[in-house]
Copies of this chain bind each other. A is one copy, B any other.
Amino acid sequence: MSKARTSIVDIARAAGVSKSTVSLVLQGSPLVNEKTREKVSALINDLGYVYNRGAANLRQSKSKIIGIVVNDLTNSFFAELAVGVDMVVQSAGYVQFLAHSGESVDRQRQVIASMRENGIAGLILSPARGTEASDVKPLADSGIPVVVVVRNLPGAKVSTLLSDNYGGAKSAVRHLINLGHRRIAFMGGFADTAVSSDRVRGYRDALMEAGIALNQNFVIHSAPSRAGGATAAERMMFFDERPTAALCFNDAVAFGVCDGLRSNDIEPGKGFAVIGFDDVIEAKTAVPALTTVSVDPQGMGQRAAQLLMKQINAGQVDQETLVTSVRLVVRQSCGAPVRQTEELA
């Protein structure tokens, strides 16, 4: 019942055919006679045979595993991204091999190495902070397609899928300006990431466009988490001239900012307008519902996976950079009167 794995030749022996025939059956080849197929299939079931994909890969050296490593599984943005990837990967007959680096480059190196050893056909990577182009170079060099998502990796010869951070931030700030706000803050996120600097740039340009002078203090960095948002909001309370609205680095920060406002008896959406970034699932159901720049992580995962699949099938690693468009979803937290949606290029 346990012990020795039953193999293709065990089946062959039992069915009185050759192992080649069994192999043919396994692959659903049309070459094999209907009767033999039935007999073999029955035996496969009865003997509890399980296909050894490792052995198969050994011979044909192309596996059906795609790897995905994310920097923070705990953040539901990435969890959803992974789910999106999983959808297309599964339906293409591949299986997903998900790992998380916990924002550590070392760990990331480890898991990538391990994935390589296990023969992945391609990799989707949301890099940990501080990842170097050299971390993915060996992959790309040995012809394994890599798609980098969410954060970019300058210098790496790989495809990249980013969201339109600049445009999204810009349109969010424009919206706030249209609503009459003049003192607008940017809250949360670390200054040293490309994602953050792109969003801040969009924020600045929107202000400039409207002829509003930039107040340097209004860019308040913090950890990109709910807790970070709360502390950022607390810090803002000490300003002589407080902002009346904020664009937040992401939704987690935005929720934290709401928490911080409430602790100071300010109701988000009434006394202060809050806009997030990402549109995680909770954004819709929170109270007040969060106005946010929708990135659709699941869709992004799907696109990334499609891009990867294309390259795997084409058998070549391209270096293509896609920017996915992004749209502002207006809900209650910005105090806008009506529910509307603004499309972006």
Interface of A toward B, CB cutoff 8 Å: 1-3, 5, 48, 50-55, 57-58, 61, 63, 65, 73-74, 76, 79-80, 82-83, 86, 90, 95-100, 102, 107, 110-111, 114-119, 138, 141-143, 226-227, 230, 255-256, 258-259, 262-263, 281-282, 285-287
Contacts and interface: CB of A to CB of B under 8 A. Distances in A.
Contact of A61 (B5, B76, B286): B5
Contact of A73 (B2, B58, B83, B256): B83
A306 to B, nearest CB: 19
Given A51-B117, A53-B117, 13 more contacts: A2-B142, A5-B61, A5-B142, A48-B141, A52-B58, A65-B118, A73-B73, A73-B83, A74-B79, A82-B100, A90-B110, A95-B115, A227-B285
Contacts of A115: 95
Contacts of A80: 74
Copies in the complex: 2
A226 B290 CA distance: 15
A240 to B, nearest CB: 26
Contact of A263 (B3, B54, B287): B287
Contacts of A97: 97-98
A333 to B, nearest CB: 13
Which of A3, A226, A258 has its CB near the most chain B CB atoms (within 10 A)?
A226
- 9 A-B pairs closest in CB distance: A2-B143, A54-B54, A98-B98, A53-B117, A95-B114, A259-B287, A262-B287, A226-B285, A51-B117
A95 B76 contact: no
A317 to B, nearest CB: 9
Contacts of A57: 54
Given A138-B48, A287-B259, A86 B74 contact: no
Nearest to A3: B143
A290 to B, nearest CB: 12
Nearest to A74: B79
21 contacts: A2-B141, A2-B142, A2-B143, A48-B138, A50-B138, A52-B117, A53-B117, A53-B118, A54-B54, A54-B119, A65-B118, A73-B79, A74-B76, A82-B100, A86-B100, A95-B115, A97-B97, A97-B98, A255-B285, A259-B286, A262-B287
A60 to B, nearest CB: 11
Given A86-B100, A141-B1, A285-B256, A95 B111 contact: yes
A142 B50 CA distance: 10
Contacts of A259: 285-287
Given A98-B99, A116-B50, A230-B285, A83 B74 contact: yes
A47 to B, nearest CB: 11
A126 B293 CA distance: 33
